[in-house]
Structure 1
């Protein structure tokens, strides 16, 4: 079994599909599924760090059923069970039909270090302002795998963006992340 990380699939999201150069959400989604399934095997584990799709789960549930792997979701601001939404609690059960787990954040051990998983970076955004700052984890010195910023950066200090936009539209393997953390763990000022 391999372990993978990704974020910001944005299924059925016309704006993101256009920004990524696709003529329609259907074309975008088919490409993401193709890239995902060419990378992830059915028995693998995937940590999806949020913004699965746009709108209600029913709009992209069929797309989710096509994806390989046991998928754990760390919710993003576009996901119905994200705790920043007033009605989030009403959507947990439906999303658990498609994901092995659904949570606001998680912690894993990578390269011998505790690493946090959250949709949001500690700081920074792909817009001019830090949105949803009240829902971000505080930077207390741990590495953070995140999404949300799309193509703004790949790494910034101890923040590592696992989103599709900076990873050739594919999930990224645990070993790749471990190597990147190991290579930069003593130089936390670098942004790539």
Structure 2
């Protein structure tokens, strides 16, 4: 049983569709984390609706794990979630275990270290790093340099809306774009 003090200090993030619809992910409120809102997650997965089935997903900066877990809920074959913060990683691991998900691998690592050592390939990539850390361009370069994208991959990028210039490789084609008040969302196809 969860005590009242702990219960006040947690937030729940709902899986919005698929076989895990309405399942709740639990995360501590005091962890420095910015989760993708339900509205944006719904938009992302509408964009990916026919592409997510049987896909191999990579969430470069997992945080709550909502994007990777939502992918599995919508019948992705496999998801790899990278998270370097130990406390966030532990909550993410607990959520994956509570949902009894066997086709998700949660890895505690810095994305830029992990990618240099992986041999896996992915066809859906989520790039949603902590804002104001200038990690998007470095992430894109790392994806290209380490050759982990399958042919016809989709890459979702979420950035803060403050005139950041992202360097997109010539082989990536803009598929969708949506501007919110403080966030810009892109979906590219390689």
The answer, yes or no, to whether TM exceeds 0.5 is no
Higher strand proportion (structure 1 or 2)? 2
Q: TM-score, normalised by structure 2?
A: 0.39
Q: TM-score, normalised by structure 1?
A: 0.38
Higher relative contact order (CA 8 A, sep 6+): 1
